[in-house]
A = this chain, B = another copy of it.
Amino acid sequence: MTATELASALGAELIGSPDITVTWIASIESAGAGDLVFVDSEKYLPQAMASQAAAIVAGEFARSAQSAKPLLIVRHPKLAFSRAARHLRRTPKEQGGVHPFAAIDPTAKLAPGVSVREFASVSSDVIIGAGTRIGVGCFIGAGVTIGEHCELKANVTVYPGTHIGNRVIVHAGAVLGSDGFGYVRDPDTGRYEAFPQVGRLEIEDDVEIGANTTIDRGALDATVIGRGAKLDNLVHIGHNVRIGTDVVIAAQTGVSGSSVIEDGAVVAGQVGIADHVRIGAGAILGAQCGVPTGKIIRGSGILFWGTPARPIRQYLKELAALARLARK
């Protein structure tokens, strides 16, 4: 794409040569000829201008810079750069189609443009929407529905009855809709018997799920992952959990049964959320913090840390007090 075409696609103001060709994206450190880079702070602008890059996406701060390279001025450089990557993406459009080594039940309904790779298995009564791609070695259980333009990478397992919306991305090895962890102890024998895990898992549109993450189905009702939620690798979501829209959960965090994370909350890595917890909209949980059973955390934009999780100011005060005490 020429700088002009790209500027137009991004709604950017172009300063400098309109005809330079941009072919791909890169970091400033590794940029080569034809690469687009971005700068979201004036500090890095000189480095970007001295790099091999073909053009620079930058904020208003760059407007008066003396740049030999074309500048694409936007309000949110990192966002525009992310979008540029989608415009420039070179991966050849994979054509749809079912690989001869895939196993498709005759009752499954595949929309046009669906691709199913080798050694994937699609069970009875599955419905898959247009443009969705099922990776190598995936298992799609009976009665699953998957929307349009989803992508399941390799070796994903989807248990029977799971519902997946549109434009959902599931990374390799993730397990969706597994049985929840619920047992009843027989007081006569001391042995555990499984409580029925027969509910559903519903994943809404635009969700992304990391590699080897596991999400359990509801016990009797549903587990729900809200629209636009992003889950990192090795996350665990228990039965009957409800994750709101645009929630972000980093790697290795676990959410126990029946907890609720409201819209826009941000959960860092290795956080532990016990059962029947409610994390309020927009709250932020710091890495490794722990929220005990039944607790309610409230405060949009407030960062909580520690186990049990408390506002960061309090937690830091306690750490400082403890350090002083130990020094005596």
Contacts of A101 in B (CB 8 A): 101, 103
Copies in the complex: 3
Subset of 18 A-B contacts with CB under 8 Å: A25-B196, A25-B220, A29-B221, A79-B184, A79-B186, A82-B194, A119-B137, A155-B157, A169-B179, A181-B210, A181-B230, A214-B251, A234-B234, A250-B256, A269-B274, A270-B290, A288-B290, A320-B326
Contacts of A272 in B (CB 8 A): 252, 269-270, 287-288
Choice from B136, B192, B325 contacting A318 with Cβ under 8 Å: B325
> Cβ of A107 < 8 Å from any Cβ of B?
no
> Cβ of A59 < 8 Å from any Cβ of B?
no
> Cβ of A108 < 8 Å from any Cβ of B?
no
- A121 with B118: CB separation less than 8 A: yes
Partner-B contacts on A (CB < 8 A)? 25-27, 29-30, 76, 78-79, 81-83, 85, 99, 101, 103, 117-119, 121, 135-137, 139, 141, 153-155, 157, 159, 169, 171-173, 175, 178-179, 181, 183-187, 190-196, 198, 206, 208, 210-212, 214, 216, 219-221, 228, 230, 232-234, 236, 238, 246, 248, 250-252, 254, 256, 264, 268-270, 272, 274, 287-288, 290, 292, 306-308, 314, 317-323, 325-326, 328
